[in-house]
Structure 1
Amino acid sequence: METLLPSYTIDEWCEIEKVSRTKFYRLRQLGTGPKLMRVGGRYMISHDAALAWREARTAEALEAA
C-alpha cells in the first residue's frame, strides 16, 4: 500500500519555503512557481510539485554559479 504524501495550501507552502504570498504570486506570473492542483474549492500544492519546484530552483542556482 502506498503512503500518501502531504499536500500544502498556498499559505503552508509559503511558510515552509519562507516566501511571502506576494512572492508566490510573482513566481506564478513568471512561470516559475510550483504547480497547483484544485481540491474542492481551493488550490493545493502536492508534495511532488513542491519537491519538483525546489529541485528546479536548485538546478537554476547551480547553473548560474
Structure 2
Amino acid sequence: MSKSAFTIPDWCKDHCISRAMFYKLAAEGLAPRTMKIGRKRLISADASVEWRIRMEKNTQIMEDSDYEA
C-alpha cells in the first residue's frame, strides 16, 4: 500500500532533494502544497503528483526556450 501523505523529511528523501532545497522551493512558491495536521506539516500524495507534473512542465518550457534562443 502506498502512502497517502508524507512528512517533509520523508518527501524530500523520496524525491532526492535536501530539506534546504525544499524550503528554498517553498520560498519561491515552487514547493508542493502542504497541509497542517496538528503540529505536523504533511504533503499529500496528490499534491506530490501535481508538483512533479508542474515541475516537468516548467522544465520542458525552459528547455524549449533554450532551443529557440
Q: What's 1:26 paired with? A: 24
Given the alignment, which residue of 10, 15, 23 partners 1:12?
10
Given the alignment, which residue of 47, 58, 67 partners 1:60?
58
Shift of 1:22: 0.3
The CA distance in 2 between the partners of 1:36 and 1:57, in whole Å, is 16
The CA distance in 1 between the partners of 2:20 and 2:59, in whole Å, is 22
Runs of 4+ in 1 over 3 A off after TM superposition: none
When normalised by structure 2's length, the TM-score is 0.84
Work out the number of aligned pairs and report it.
62
Amino acid at match of 1:32: L
Shift of 1:40: 1.6
Q: Which runs of 5+ in 1 are unaligned?
A: none
Q: Which runs of 5+ in 2 are unaligned?
A: 64-69
